[in-house]
Amino acid sequence: MRNATVAALIYEFLFDVYRLIDAEREHNEWLPDEHSVVREAFFHSYISCWEWSTSVLEEVGATKTLQLPHIRQDPNRRSPYSYPLMTLDDCRVADFSEFETFDNYCYAMFTFYQLIGQTSRENEVNLAVRSPRFLEAVASKDDVFMIEDIHCVKFRRDRFEEKVMTRWREMQLRIFRRKDGVLK
């Protein structure tokens, strides 16, 4: 069994946030953070792949959710707005070892699978929306991917089902957390 690191998947999630912020720049909202500093906000639109990936990023300290006091929030839902706390370079060298567990890998890979589904056709990964590190740090390290050439990476749904979804279905609690089990 070969797995990408949780850290490599976290990097992909943050890369995606920056990619979407940049792509939507003329439509993005600028909102005050908890210190009244105005931030360019990422809006996940309650689309599960981005809702899940931003929850992972918040848990590891790479992003922060923007609480909007002027908008009545559902207490059972996080705000759909967040902003990055880390640059991609910071994320690349960050120590995420306290999150490197098989359950977190399954959670992150399930989330990444949703991102792939949102941005790709069939089982072919859309490399145009993945980071430049994806081939080396994720696809070549994980047996749910098959690299056909540097321009074509296939997602192996059968291997994903066998490895990730088998554990996913067994998990009593599907959350992303530190090895010690403590949530922020």
Cβ 115 vs Cβ 53: under 8 Å: yes
State the Cα–Cα distance between residues 136 and 129, nearest whole angstrom: 15
State the Cα–Cα distance between residues 114 and 80, nearest whole angstrom: 17
Average pLDDT over residues 66-79: 70
User: Given this model, what pLDDT does residue 45 score?
Assistant: 85
Q: CA of 148: how far to CAs of 104, 125, 176, in Å?
A: 27, 11, 31
pLDDT in tens, 81-135: 999 999 999 999 999 999 999 999 999 999 999 999 888 888 899 999 999 999 9
Contacts of residue 24, defined as CB under 8 A and 6 or more positions apart, other chains included, come to 43
User: Given this model, what pLDDT does residue 148 score?
Assistant: 92
Phi/psi at 82 (5° precision) = -150, 170
Q: Is the pLDDT of residue 74 over 80?
A: no
Q: Is the pLDDT of residue 63 over 60?
A: yes
176: left (phi over 0), alpha (psi -120 to 50) or beta: beta
pLDDT in tens, 15-26: 999 999 999 989
State the Cα–Cα distance between residues 150 and 153, nearest whole angstrom: 8
Nearest alpha carbon to residue 176 among 51, 90, 86, 67: 51
